[in-house]
Structure 1
Amino acid sequence: MCAAIPDTMTAIEVRTPGGPEQLVATTRPVPKPEKGEVLVKIAGAGINRADTLQRQGKYPMPPGATDIPGLECSGTVVALGEGAARFKVGDEVCALLSGGGYAEYVNVPEPQCMVLPPKVDLVTAGGIPETFCTVWTNVFDRSRLKPGEVFMVQGGTSGIGYTAIQLAKAFGSPVLATAGSDDKCKACVDFGADRAINYKTEDFVAVGKEFTQGRGVDVILDMVGGEYIPRQLEVLAREGRLCFVALMGGTKVTADFGMIHRKHLTVTGSTLRSRPVEAKGEICRALEEKVWPLFAEGKCWPVVYKSFPLTEAAEAHRLMESSAHIGKIMLVP
């Protein structure tokens, strides 16, 4: 039986857009679940690059979303809103959020809650939903990666990066991954990459063509954009697909669109946060059905670099922005 639900909770808010020091602890009322929602007592919450953009005022919340940052969590269901019936009070879940993960409690639309992946503890599961949902919808839904096709991910030691390596490899694709140091390249190989590329000392276009004997790679998952775009168009094979989940290197660039025409390329991208509950629920059900068994088989596993107490969210953001981490950074209430 769950303990009594308090009236108030500790949460992290953005005092004003700016640096990590703008993340401050505050006291908020514990939310009450609305129709179709569950109230989750948070055990662990993953930090994502989008959280740092929200803190800077560069990633606005969708209408109706809480101003508390945090796009994923794990925890225990402690209350049910009207019509919520898939889970019961006391169930342990992990959840995809529109916001609210940097707190002790959060309301979640029930379709965005998932059972815990096999062999993953409750706290660690809080770092899984955002990255796995992002990779699944962009690599397998939008980019249609098929077994045997060569896959490249930019930034292989980020949360999205290691997730993409594991999933692409598990579903039968040779994998190339870029990283910014030899240690990070070794980590990419440990995650399952067939070839890691140190982008500071190697040209990923040349390596990609060499790896494929000149044919080019089939799918690229990119978080950089900017000057990477024309180079990625060059390394793609005929009928190749380039998919963006972030554009940290810039949104505007000069590129040869004739190459897209000649090589029959597809360039696409998407965001997850703004999608309707039904769409997010479909992604969550696909993960439970098709990806969670991979955890039981040892083909996927969570990678947590460091955990911080909830009230040290600013330090967690400083680590995120240093890019010194390999894997997920977590907040633990």
Structure 2
Amino acid sequence: MKAAVFREYNKDPTKVVKIEDIDVPKIKANEVLIKVESASYNYNDLWAIWGEPVKTPLPHISGSDVAGTVVEIGEDVSKFKVGDRVVSHSNMSCRICEQCTAGREYDCKDRNIWGFQTGPLWGGFAQYTHLPEVNVAKLPENVSFEDAAAISMVGMTAWHMLVGRARIIPGQTVLIMGGTSGVGMAGIQIAKLYNCNVIATAGNQQKMDKCLELGADNVVNHREADWNKKVREITKKEGVDVVFEHIGKNVFPQEVSLLKMGGTLVATGATTGYDSTLDLRFLFFKGTNLLGSTQGTKAELEQVIYWVSKNKIKPLIATTLPFSNMVEGHVMMAGAEQIGKILTTPQKL
């Protein structure tokens, strides 16, 4: 089969990611073999190639979001059959510890992100891949492979942040940072699904307009020095109930200052850097809740897919690349200028 493989770390993906011929993986008793029809890009694909912040196993196939068809099942697999349309659940955990059995697999001490921390040669940018059946969800017939691959990780992550962790309720004001990122676009739509008032941020007018199309009630340009003052003006100086954060140190202090009394900031990722500072007075005087969040549960992924099937969450796709040119997707991710998810089609070279 064809797979996108890198055998060393490098800041320039074009120097190390190559399409290679490798063997189709052999599956274990609890696994399914998936013919990958669509795979999408995430920022952790760049981290894997860079070898930061952790060294991924080499040689490596990255890719944490795939959708496709089951072509083989292991002898212990009971919930899937050959021909099933499926999407990946990238949050890999032991499934037997106290956290996992309580439905909190995101808190498993042995948790890994498939396609990022797994390997060697175990990720989604390949014509075939394998996953334990517990890491696979079925796709309704009216959800395309492309939409499923585009929404799986970002949708599950956003759902877990807003519903699982921040526990949003109707009427709250939610600030969605980076509204045209993959996770941001999902966040806007999930918050509106819960009838929240949504303020989104974006880095240029085109992206700001897209946030409004997705349902945001207001939008500000986070590249402007006074962006936080504009958020405060929109809220009539009251601030926001929830901040949906994944930007990192460039905006973290301002985000915390925008919270209402008892407000909640829920964070996943730190694209601009992780070494931020915090005025602790905002923490204790305002009763601020600071929550971390990473990925989500399979049940949360299934919720997202359900709402996609009902046309209430709409994945936004920027472009689809032929597999022979898939490395260009990594370059685009690093540039961060696209609006929507980048996909590649491993079956179409």
2:9 is equivalent to residue 17 of structure 1: yes
Q: State the 1:121 CA deviation.
A: 1.4
Match of 2:87 in 1: 94
Figure out how many residues of one structure are paired with residues of the other and give that number: 314
Q: State the 1:35 CA deviation.
A: 3.0
Give the stretch that moved more between structures: 180-189 or 78-87. Answer: 78-87
Unaligned runs of 5+ in 2: 91-113, 116-122
Q: State the 1:117 CA deviation.
A: 5.0
Contact 1:20–1:55 under 8 Å retained in 2: yes
2:66 is equivalent to residue 73 of structure 1: yes
| Inter-partner Cα distance in structure 2 for 1:149 and 1:117 | 31
2:299 is equivalent to residue 306 of structure 1: no
| Inter-partner Cα distance in structure 2 for 1:128 and 1:186 | 21
Which residue, 31, 41, 45 being the options, matches 1:47?
41
Contact 1:37–1:110 under 8 Å retained in 2: yes
Q: State the 1:226 CA deviation.
A: 0.7
Contact 2:89–2:152 under 8 Å retained in 1: yes
Match of 1:185 in 2: 208
CA distance 1:293–1:72, shift in 2 (3 Å): closer
Match of 1:286 in 2: 300
Q: Superposition pairs for residues 193-204 of structure 1, below 5 Å?
A: 193-201=216-224, 203-204=226-227
Give the letter aligned to residue 286 of structure 1. E
| Inter-partner Cα distance in structure 2 for 1:107 and 1:30 | 9
Match of 1:6 in 2: none
What is the DSSP-based 3-state SS (H/G/I as helix, E as strand, rest coil) of the residue aligned with 1:226?
Answer: coil
Query: Per-residue displacement from partner, 1:23-45 (whole Å, max 9, x unpaired)?
Result: 11112221122132211100000
Q: Superposition pairs for residues 148-167 of structure 1, below 5 Å?
A: 148-167=171-190
| Inter-partner Cα distance in structure 1 for 2:202 and 2:140 | 27
Identity of aligned residues (%): 32
- Give the alignment's TM-score, normalised by structure 2: 0.85
Match of 2:25 in 1: 31
Query: Per-residue displacement from partner, 1:127-150 (whole Å, max 9, x unpaired)?
Result: 221111111112211222222111
Cα RMSD between the aligned structures?
1.9
Match of 2:103 in 1: none
Unaligned runs of 5+ in 1: 1-8, 273-279
Q: State the 1:124 CA deviation.
A: 3.2
CA distance 1:124–1:291, shift in 2 (3 Å): closer
Query: Per-residue displacement from partner, 1:285-319 (whole Å, max 9, x unpaired)?
Result: 2332x433433442211111101122322211111
Q: State the 1:196 CA deviation.
A: 1.2
| Inter-partner Cα distance in structure 2 for 1:31 and 1:171 | 42
CA distance 1:12–1:62, shift in 2 (3 Å): closer
